[in-house]
A and B are shown apart, each in its own frame.
Chain A
């Protein structure tokens, strides 16, 4: 199970806890959209390669 966690904003404590639980034991990767110039090309590559993407707030 290849999981991609994408962050649209700075994760709060609840988000961090949920990410920890859903990612446990999985091939999990993170991508931060909350930057000045996100690398959309790299993000799409990761989304297309993942089994599931969760785009957190």
Chain B
């Protein structure tokens, strides 16, 4: 059975690469979910937008707690509590990179 994997992306310096890494698992036939928390994505290239689209094409999703990411990039809005509930159903939870210095 395909594994379900969630990437928790809290640091802008790591988020777009975390999305790329999630796509890397999606193409390995896993369900990959990315959760962009507390960071607004700017300078998002067409390459990165394609990565988001590909994750969706492979039955994954990219969520965000940040309204600007929902409005600008079409990410699916989610709350912290909803993220927690979804994580309970995943086989692997990956807190990616490091916390932002102002959040740690």
Contacts and interface: CB of A to CB of B under 8 A. Distances in A.
Are A and B a genuine interacting pair, yes or no?
yes
Interface stretch (B16-24, B49-57, B66-74, B87-95): B87-95
A28 to B, nearest CB: 11
A18 B88 CA distance: 10
Nearest to B92: A52
B27 interface: no
Interface string A16-40: 0110111000000000000000000
Given A57-B95, A57-B98, A14 B85 contact: no
A56 B91 CA distance: 15
Interface magnitude class on chain A: 10 to 19
A53 to B, nearest CB: 9
A17 B81 contact: yes
Contacts of B88: 21-22
Nearest to B102: A12
B32 interface: no
A22 to B, nearest CB: 5
B91 A55 contact: no
Nearest to A25: B88
6 contacts: A10-B104, A15-B95, A17-B81, A18-B87, A21-B85, A54-B95
Given A9-B98, A9-B99, 16 more contacts: A9-B104, A14-B37, A15-B95, A18-B80, A18-B83, A18-B87, A20-B84, A21-B88, A22-B93, A52-B91, A52-B93, A54-B93, A54-B95, A55-B95, A57-B97, A57-B98
